[in-house]
Amino acid sequence: MRQDLSLLVELQEIDLDIKKLEEEKASSPNRLMALKERRAEIEANINDLKERANELDTRRKEVEEELVVERARLSKSQSRLMVIKTEREYQALLKEIEEIKKANKAREEEIESLKKEQDGVELELMEAQERISEIEKEMAVEEKHLEEVTKELDSQIKELSKSRESVAQKVPSNLLKRYDFLREHRAGVAVVAVEEAVCSGCHMNIPPQLFNELLKDEKIHTCPTCQRIIYAADLKEKK
């Protein structure tokens, strides 16, 4: 394989390795981000639960105050039964007492229901707080792991970048410029092999005459479809 083409192939391999490491580095914080999002969701739920707990507490106190007032009213009404003189007044007061009792029973049931719901909300709050604590522990572990992974990836990228610089210096400037342009506009892949007359970059067939030229290895060629720099796969094995 021609020396300058061989250098481009080597440069492409280094660039692909760097790209892979950079993608790994970019995806490394994903788990930490997921944990943060989960924590935010639970915190939002905790705020909702606290708001509901306050609503329940306010309503329960209101009903309890009403019950105190109505029980006192019931007691007075029952005392009045002893001094009622007419049957009509007596029956009317009995009806009033029954209505008060019925209303008070409904209040007592509502208070009990509110207490049960409050207990449920308090339990949910406690469980949510425990989950927050667990997530924060996971986040601390993940942050430490992320720091270690990032450090290792940065080290590898740095070493590869040095190798890239060394190889790039040997490539003719005009060819390097062309390579960089293609890499930028072809998803990071500027140099590809042709196997059985098929470009591995765009998977299109190479004209027979062009394929024969590739095998001669006399000059650098590009794919007529994707414009990437191409070489015969067999040549790489022989370089």
Instruction: Verify that 89 and 176 share a domain, yes or no.
Output: no
Domain end: 144, 168, 192, which one?
A: 168
Q: Does residue 59 sit within a domain? A: yes
Q: Is residue 127 part of a domain?
A: yes
Q: What is the pLDDT of residues 67-126, one digit of tens each?
A: 999 999 999 999 998 888 899 999 999 999 999 999 999 999 999 999 999 999 999 999
- Can you give the pLDDT at residue 15? 97
The mean of the pLDDT values for the chain is 94
Which pLDDT does position 218 carry in this prediction? Answer: 87
* Residue 2 covered by a domain: no
User: Within this chain, do residues 46 and 142 fall inside the same structural domain, yes or no?
Assistant: yes
Same domain, 161 and 209: no
2 pLDDT more than 90: no
Nearest to 67 by CA among 96, 104, 102, 116: 104
Query: Is-above-0.75 flag for pTM?
Result: no
Q: Could you tell me the residue range of the domain that residue 92 belongs to?
A: 18-168
Above 90 in pLDDT, residue 180? yes
> Is residue 140 domain-shared with residue 198, that is, in the same domain?
no
Radius of gyration for the chain, computed over Cα atoms and rounded to the nearest angstrom: 40
- 11 lies in a domain? no
Residue 3 lies in a domain: no
- pLDDT at residue number 85: 85
Contacts of 193 (CB under 8 A, 6+ apart): 200, 230, 231, 232, 233, 236
Q: Are residues 92 and 184 in the same domain?
A: no
